[in-house]
Amino acid sequence: MLHKCIIKILLTYLFLKLECGLMEKGFFVDLGRMRYKQAWDFQRLLWQMRVEEKIPNTLILVEHEHVITKGKSADDKNLLYSEEELKKKGVDLHVVERGGDFTYHGPGQLVGYPIFHVKKGLAGIRPFVRKVEESITQTMGRFGIASKGSMQFEDKHPVGVWLGDKKLAAIGIAVKKWVSFHGFALNVSTDLDMFHLIVPCGLEDKSVTSMEKLLGKKPSFEEVKTGILEAFEKIFEIEFETEQMEDFQ
C-alpha cells in the first residue's frame, strides 16, 4: 500500500513539473537498424554538439548488425575468434572509447546511447549509471521480469542489469568533458549463441540471457523501445522531442 502511495506521489510530481513547463527538454533519435560504424560516427557528432551546448541531453536508440566492440580495458584472450574469422561470420570488430572488455551487439538487441551532461566528479557519474540501470529494470517490470541493477545487490555485481548471475543488459558508458556517450545493450530477442564468440565482459563465471528466453516468447521490440523511452523520461525527468538523424547533419 505504501509503495503504491509513493508511486502515485512521484507520478503527480512529474505531471505537475510537465504541466508547469519545469521538465528538462531533450531530444530522442530512433536510428532503427544500422551498422555500428555509422551509428558510432553519429554518436560522436552529437557528443561534440552536447559539449558545445548546441543540443540538449539526447537519447539514441538503435539495433545493430552483428558487431563486437573492444573496450579500453579489454583482455585479448576474451576474444575467442580472430578478426579474419569474425569477418567470415559477418561480424564487424571495432575498438571503442568506453571502458570494459569485449561486448557483442546484433539483431534483437536494443542499444541505447545517452548523450547527457553528467555532473562533475565521480559523485555525478555513479548516480548517472544507477539511473540508467533503473530505467532498464523499470521497463523490465512492465513485462513481468524482476531484474536488478548492479547497485541493488548486497554483494558486488559488475555494472549492468541482472537476473541472478545472468546478465540481461550490459552497460559501458564513457564520460569525456562531462558528457556521456556509449551506453547500454538490452537483450530483447538476441541470438544468445553469438555471445560464444567472446567471453562477455570478461566474466567467465556468469552467463547472458534475454527477454525472449525469460518470457518464453519474443516480446514486441517497439513496445520495449517505448518502455525504455518512457522510463528515461520519468527517471531523468526529461521531456523528449523526437528528431531525425538528418536534422543534425
Statement: residue 3 has pLDDT above 70 = no
- Strand bridging mode 58-64 / 109-115: antiparallel
How far apart CA 221 and CA 103 sit, in angstroms, is: 21
Q: How many CB atoms lie within 10 A of CB 20?
A: 8
Q: What is the CATH number of the domain that holds 240?
A: 3.30.930.10
For residue 159, is it within any domain? yes
Lowest mean pLDDT among 206-210, 218-222, 231-235: 206-210
Residue 13 lies in a domain: no
Q: Per the domain annotation, does 7 fall within a domain?
A: no
> All 3 cell numbers of residue 39?
551509428
Residue 50 lies in a domain: yes
Residue 90 in domain: yes
Per-residue pLDDT tens digits for 151-173: 887 777 788 999 988 999 999 99
Structural domain range at position 224:
24-244
Please count the structural domains in the chain: 1
In a domain, 118, yes or no: yes
* pLDDT greater than 80 at residue 244: yes
- In the residue annotation, 201 being an active-site residue is answered as yes
Which entry of 201, 208, 228, 231 is annotated as an active-site residue? 201
pLDDT in tens, 45-96: 999 999 999 999 999 999 999 999 998 888 899 999 999 999 999 999 999 9
* Domain membership flag for residue 191: yes
The C-alpha cell at 183 is 551506453
Q: Does any domain span residue 28?
A: yes
Phi-psi region of 220 (alpha: psi -120 to 50; beta: other; left: phi over 0): beta
* Residue 204 CB contacts under 8 Å (≥ 6 apart), including other chains: none
